[in-house]
Amino acid sequence: MCLAAGSPVAGQTAFVTCQSGEVVSVIDLKTGQETARWAVPGKPAGISVAIDGSVFTVSPESKTVRRFAPTGKEAAQTRLDGGPIGVAHDAARGRLFISDWYNSRIWVLDDQTLDTRGELTTGAAPAGLAISDDGRFLASADRDADQVSVFNAETLSLVARLDVGSRPFGLRYAPDGRLFVGNVGTNDVSVIDAQGSRITATIPVGARPYGVAFAQGRAFVSNQYEDSVSVINLDTLRHETKISVGEYPEGVDNTADDSRIVVANWFENTISVIDAKTLTVVDVIETGDGPRAFGEFLLGGER
């Protein structure tokens, strides 16, 4: 299927980077339909969607970061000399953070021009990036160092480096400020306190936990090797259940109204849509080839 670029529809929209197909699938979650495909060369994986509908993508093969307008028109592009993979958008300060897998650093870019403003030093092989909801902290999952680096997002100074499980990859801040880190090597999630100072819990999940999202007082963790999503109660930190999804789930995000969790199934070319209250899959929607959606890829929904 080949769809022309177009404006995102009103309501809740998913922007899914499809690595093999070199596109972003734009999906209206309300209708369950793909409304557009944007060409994105270079095997895109990382993604971040701004509140105004701007979309930032990272293509590791071509080392290219792009900013798209809500219409799908490319508005800016830059090539970074390294291994760009993860992305996080700091809208309040007009900055974009990109992790460099090969050189233990994070690039700091201007979010409009994509010009480089600076660099931060991390542990080996930084992958996922996350900014806390209150804008205080930036965190990096340093996979080959088995650690997380936490920075002051305003000053960009290092706050802490914390040992977590083996091979952390995806991470996300919960609404209460705690940081949840998926450790693909030890099949667990590390929970870091809201000050970024210590590990408060380690929670076993499924095989190869990849991404984390939050809704309805729960954490949802995609398990690559189990084709499932683990559900964790945020009050008790107990593992409640697993939800079966498509093959090799990777990126996971929550709608703004906390009603749905959306999971990209890399080997199945679909997204699974989960009702966050009933913990059931309510829709399965086709995407381009090789959906990864590594980052925050959803837009819209009333709060």
Q: Is residue 20 part of a domain?
A: no
Task: Output the CA torsion sign for 286, 1, 33, 258.
Answer: positive
> Between residues 31 and 302, which one has the greater pLDDT?
31
Residue 173 has pLDDT above 80, yes or no: yes
**Parent domain of 95:** 81-286
pLDDT tens by residue, 255-275: 999 999 999 999 999 999 999
Please report the pLDDT score of residue 2 as a whole number: 35
3-state secondary structure of 202: strand
- Are the C-beta atoms of 86 and 46 separated by less than 8 Å? yes
Q: Is residue 221 part of a domain?
A: yes
Residue 253 has pLDDT above 50, yes or no: yes
- Looking at the chain, how many residues does it have? 303
3-state secondary structure of 143: helix
Q: Could you give the residue ranges of the DSSP H alpha helices within 26-183?
A: none
Rounded CA-CA distance 234/33 in Å is 32
Q: Which residue has the tokens 């381009």?
A: 288
Q: What is the DSSP string of 13-38?
A: EEEEEETTTTEEEEEETTTTEEEEEE
The confidence band for 300, taking pLDDT boundaries of 50, 70 and 90, is: confident
* Single-letter amino acid, residue 91: A
Please report the pLDDT score of residue 10 as a whole number: 40
Rounded CA-CA distance 163/26 in Å is 37
pLDDT tens by residue, 195-242: 999 999 999 999 999 999 999 999 999 999 999 999 999 999 999 999
Q: Is residue 230 part of a domain?
A: yes
Q: Is residue 238 part of a domain?
A: yes
Task: Output the CA torsion sign for 139, 140, 143, 144.
Answer: negative
pLDDT tens by residue, 35-86: 999 999 999 999 999 999 999 999 999 999 999 999 999 999 999 999 999 9
233: buried, middle or exposed (CB in 10 Å: 19+, 13-18, 0-12)? middle
Closest CA relative to residue 260, chosen from 276, 277, 280, 244: 276
Q: Is residue 19 part of a domain?
A: no
Q: What is the mean pLDDT of the chain?
A: 95
The share of the chain scoring above pLDDT 90, in percent, equals: 95
Rounded CA-CA distance 186/182 in Å is 9
Q: Is residue 110 part of a domain?
A: yes
CATH number at residue 183: 2.130.10.10
Q: Is residue 38 part of a domain?
A: no
Using alpha carbons, list the distances in angstroms from residue 31 to 9, 249, 280: 10, 22, 18
**Number of domains within the chain:** 1
Q: Is residue 142 part of a domain?
A: yes
Rounded CA-CA distance 228/267 in Å is 13
- Are the C-beta atoms of 49 and 296 separated by less than 8 Å? yes
Please report the pLDDT score of residue 33 as a whole number: 96
